[in-house]
Structure 1
Amino acid sequence: MTSLTATFTVDLTPAEILTGAADCFDLVKAWSGALEGTSRGVMLTAGDPASGSASYVATELFEGSLDGREGTLVLQQLGTMTDGDPTLQYVIAPGSGTGALAGVTGALMIGTIDDDGHHEVTIELT
């Protein structure tokens, strides 16, 4: 297993809400570090975060390089919060890689988020 680090900033833009969703957002992330490039995607939320119970799903297409290899990857997230206890699954969608990223699989773990909105991420490639 290979462990890499990267950071991203995210810009969320409200999108048309789907029936049953609390909110819908278009997202754009600027990546640096082991992931260099941009990802674009969609996030749907449900529940009531103020009460401590909510969830979101997001899918994004990353274009750029991973550890110097060029191509695209799809990143998928599933975040849940139950009684204020959060969990997050953030994975590279199997079979989604193109170019030099074909066949790449793994998971991402979000660490610290600084005051400027930079998210630190550890990428575990399998």
Structure 2
Amino acid sequence: MSENSTVVGGLQETTAAFSIELQPGESLLEATGRFDFSKVWTGGMDGTSTGFMLSAGDPAAGKAGYVALESFQGSIDGRVGTVVLQQFGTMDGEANLYYEFAPGSGTGELVGISGSLEIDTSGGGHDVRVSYRLS
């Protein structure tokens, strides 16, 4: 367990942060966008990830949606492996984000991981609370 980690309601919780670099990718469908991205994670999740995001709608007007998959390589509370993160987000006057570990995607010491991530951008960065369990 890392210094950032606690147990809450049977779930392990840790905190982390990430920096992200986005690059526009080739759109596959009309009225959609694609972005490729890479992240550097620090804290209870320590490592790197790469992924892609598909979006649709009008983000400038505050009405849009996106899905993303990213592959994380590194450690979570000192447990080393890889895992895929999946995201589903919508904006329609209010932003909603659902972010979780893809079932069955963990390797190494992250085999059997399940749980979710909450991102707080209110401080200008990407602060994350990770809630997970290992089966």
For Structure 1 versus Structure 2, the TM-score category normalised by the shorter chain is over 0.9
Give 5+ residue unaligned stretches, structure 2: 1-10
Write the mapping of 1:73-84 to structure 2, written as runs, cut at 5 A. 73-82=83-92, 84=93
Which one of 119, 123, 126 corresponds to residue 126 of structure 2?
119
Q: TM-score, normalised by structure 1?
A: 0.92
Which letter maps to 1:50?
A
Amino acid at match of 1:40: T
**Alignment of structure 1 residues 82-101 onto 2, 5 Å:** 82=92, 84-101=93-110
- Return the alpha-carbon distance in structure 2 between the equivalents of residues 2 and 104 of structure 1: 11
Deviations 1:63-113 (A, max 9, x none): 00010000000001100012x111110000111000000001100000135
| Whole-angstrom distance in 1 between the partners of 2:41 and 2:47 | 5
SS of residue matched to 1:63: strand
Over aligned residue pairs, what C-alpha RMSD do you find? 1.2
Unmatched 5+ stretches in structure 1: none
Deviation at 1:22, TM superposition (A): 2.4
Q: Determine the structure 2 residue equivalent to 1:105.
A: 114
Secondary structure of the equivalent of 1:8? strand
Distance in 1 between the 2:30 and 2:68 partners? 16
Shift of 1:114: 4.0
| TM-score normalised by L of structure 2 | 0.86
Report what 1:8 is aligned to.
18
User: Once the 2 structures are TM-superposed, how far is the Cα of residue 21 of structure 1 from its aligned partner?
Assistant: 4.7
Identity of aligned residues (%): 51
Letter in 2 for 1:119: H
Whole-Å Cα distance in 2 between the matches of residues 96 and 28 of structure 1? 19
State whether structure 2 residue 44 is matched by structure 1 residue 34: yes
Equivalent residues, number? 123
